[in-house]
Structure 1
Amino acid sequence: MSDTLSPRKTRAALRVSARVSGELLLVLAMAVVAVWALGRMWSVVWPLVVGLLLTTLTWPLARYLRRLGWPPALAASVVTVGFLVVALGVVALIAVPVASQSGELADGVVGGIQKVREWASGPPLNISDDQITGAFDSATARIQDSLGSMVTTVVTGVSTVVNGVVTAVLAVFLMFFMLKDGPKFLPWLARQLPGRFATDVPVVAERGWETLGGFVRSQAYVGLLDAVLIGLGLWIVGVPLVLPLAVLTFVSAFVPIVGALFAGFVAVLIALVSNGPTDALIVLAIIVLVQQLEGNVFQPMIQSRGLGLHAAVVLLAVTLGGSLAGIVGSLLAVPAAALAAVVWNYLREQLSEPVGEPETSDAGSVA
């Protein structure tokens, strides 16, 4: 029996491979164009995304009020105002206690710096005051030399803050309109689309909406879990401002990576200036432990149940999103992966053979 390759089958396989490769390249090119267009429209897309996420969080209350017979505009107005009141209350809950103890914190910072200097001047470092002063002078000289770049950084930071405020305002207005007119969107969309798209697109959009709601709820659960565990640890150690720090931890859970780092840094800093370096190290250990449990256990488990994604997919999506688009990519990676899964599952449903339908086969015609 000969093992030589069949020229006819080889040519057919090459033709199929070439066709599939060309189709894949076309799909990749379309994806690149879509990402480029998304980047060009990001100033509009980002407030829309934030408003959509806020709407998924506040829609259950608006839906409840509408079922009670409230007019859509009134229900949307009440929910929007209530959301703003809660958001401002959270800010006040964090800011007021910190401001009332700002004097103590400032004294603690000065005392902490003095303790660090005393520790550095003793064994095993034995760094003299002259060396420390020289290091401060050198740092001051470098800061003065880089004054121009610092001004540029400050201007960039101010611009970022302004853009953030504009994005927040637009997102709140968009949330109001989505709460008010959201149920009219899918019927309107079905009337605008031709043929089968009038059925398929609204179904996928409705499933995507439910998926986004699951994402926001899962993030809230994770943030609440972090806030309770870290707040309990801070209370046991005896760190002041436990409630504001717990609220800050909950809010920061909606901003992956940087939010956790920022909340942890604030907690460790307050522990350092109020309780000393030993308690600060204990607080740091507590935060690292909780964050490891969150990132490797709690968040994948909760999000995998809420979004229908495997825990490994959640971890890979966050890693890929962070490497491609930084903080925003990390924030949107999981809901984007869940929406892609929604589309894929719907396509599989439409392309699958119905149960019990006989499949055609050419096996009987082959000699």
Structure 2
Amino acid sequence: MPARLSATRTRTALRTSARTSADLLLILLMVTAGLWLLGRMWPVVWPLVVALFLTTLTWPMARFLRRHGWAPALAASVVTVVSLVIAAGVVALIAVPVTSQSGELVDGVIAGIKHLREWAAGPPLNIDDTEITKALDSAVDRLQNSMGATVSAVVTGVGTVINGVVTAVLAVFLMFFFLKDGPRFLPWLTRQLPGRLAVHVPTVAERGWDTLGAFIRSQALVGLIDAVLIGLGLWILDVPLVLPLSVLTFVSAFVPVIGALFAGFVAVLIALVSNGPTDALIVLAIIVGVQQLEGNVFQPMIQSRGLGLHAAVILLAVTLGGSLAGIVGSLLAVPASALIAVVWNYIREQLGEPEEGPAASGATVADPTAS
């Protein structure tokens, strides 16, 4: 005979479920309001984010100079000027040729997609699904139209150019102040916050800064190694557009999982169209080999501690960020997820019950014996 439901336990369960649902709705409302406020403040937030990324890359040099007796303002000024000179050199030596060859790169990707479609239509696959063909045609047309719209926007979009320049200038000035006054931020924040917040907030901020710096610097170095190795392989095989593909590989390294797949797909397509299937397979083998070296050798050696995120979480975060904010969302998805993980782990540490170690349990047993 089945057991009867307890009215008291049922009411308690319903009340607990209602309170939990209300708490979740309140948290969701706060997150929605925060995202809306972030969107409204984006013209200010975006230069701040760029400045933080630049500061994580340049802080080791500034810290080295400060430890050797340089004044904070002088060290920050030298690092900022050197960074600007390096950036100008990169624009002059790489960005200009890449921009001039970007049209050929897009045309090569489109030709590669058409080549794959023609190959799939023949034996042994014999795929003749009209819906797939229409989808591929639509994708090719959309890519071509988007490129035309992008070119026209670059030519006529004076406002976009001005916004980009303003963002870059603000980011550089903010980077200078972060390099100059960054070490004084946490003590200042501790003095401003009341009670236990004066301990918790600076601790979380310090952990978040360490995590963000480890991610940015490691991804930049790993991306540079990937770009050099893959670019060297493409150059040996005489694949065209080596420089744009190498730059694409470096930039894609900041979008884990999806970035490597996208850059590798483009490189294989270019090799397939220009050099044929044999070289395309060789390029694919080179990319797979470099990715294996990255995951098993470069990443563990360069990044002393990981982000603590599962690959599935990274994939979902990049997908969600891309759907919400495009390329910018994809770039910021993993750092944002890592910072959320830092906050969550700290909350778990504070709310978790302290575990009794062997020494504590041994002392408890020893006291009665001694008495």
AA in 2 matched with 1:154: S
The C-alpha deviation readout for 1:79-98, integer Å capped at 9, x for no partner, is 11111111111222225777
8 A contact 2:248–2:263 mirrored in 1? no
Determine the structure 1 residue equivalent to 2:162: 162
Q: 1:215 to 1:151 in 2, by over 3 A?
A: closer
Partner of 1:120: none
Query: Is 1:250 the counterpart of 2:283 in the alignment?
Result: no
What residue in structure 2 maps to residue 364 of structure 1?
none
Change (3 A) 1:282 1:165: farther
Unaligned runs of 5+ in 1: 114-123, 125-146, 359-367
- Counterpart of 1:83 in structure 2 is 83
Q: 1:244 to 1:319 in 2, by over 3 A?
A: closer
Counterparts of residues 194-343 of structure 1 (less than 5 Å): 194-239=194-239, 242=242, 246=246, 249-251=249-251, 253-254=253-254, 281=280, 285=284, 289=288, 305-343=305-343
Which amino acid letter does the alignment assign opposite residue 20 of structure 1?
Answer: T
1:111-170, Cα deviation, whole Å (9 max, x unpaired): xx9xxxxxxxxxx9xxxxxxxxxxxxxxxxxxxxxx9xx789834772333322221221
Alpha carbons of structure 1 residues 49 and 82: separation in structure 2 relative to 1, 3 Å: same
String of CA shifts for 1:304-349, please: whole Å, max 9, x gaps.
9432222332222212222222211111111111111111111111
- d(CA) in 2 for partners of 1:2 and 1:261? 57
For normalisation by structure 2, the TM-score amounts to 0.71
Change (3 A) 1:85 1:348: same
Shift of 1:245: 5.4
Deviation at 1:61, TM superposition (A): 0.7
Match of 1:185 in 2: 185
Structure 1 residues 164, 260: closer, same or farther in 2, change over 3 A? farther
The answer (yes or no) to whether the contact 2:230–2:290 under 8 Å persists in 1 is no
Residues 23-43 of structure 1, C-alpha deviations (whole Å, 9 max, x = no match): 110111011001000000000
- 1:58 CA displacement: 0.6
Match of 1:65 in 2: 65
State the one-letter code of the partner of 2:163.
Answer: N
- 1:242 CA displacement: 4.8
Deviation digits for residues 281-312 of structure 1 (CA, Å, limit 9, x no counterpart) = 56874687579769998999787943222233
Aligned to 2:172: 172
Corresponding letter in the other structure for 2:234: L
* Conserved? CA contact 2:255–2:334, under 8 Å: no
Q: Highest Rg: 1 or 2?
A: 1
Write the letter of the residue equivalent to 1:223. Answer: G
Matches within 5 A, 1:18-29: 18-29=18-29
Range moving further from structure 2, 332-341 or 294-303: 294-303
Kindly, what percent of the aligned residue pairs are identical? 65
CA contact (8 A) 1:61 1:79 kept: yes
Partner amino acid, structure 1, of 2:315 = L
Deviations 1:185-209 (A, max 9, x none): 1111111111111111000000000
Question: Does the 8 Å contact 2:237/2:279 carry over to 1?
Answer: no
Change (3 A) 1:248 1:153: closer
Deviation of 1:177 (Å): 0.5
Q: Which runs of 5+ in 2 are unaligned?
A: 112-121, 123-144, 361-371
The aligned counterpart of 2:35 is 35
**AA at the equivalent of 2:306:** G
CA RMSD of aligned residues (A): 4.2
Post-superposition shift, 1:229?
A: 2.6
Q: What is the aligned partner in structure 2 of residue 139 from structure 1?
A: none
Structure 2 SS opposite 1:69: coil
Distance 1:86 1:290, change over 3 A: farther
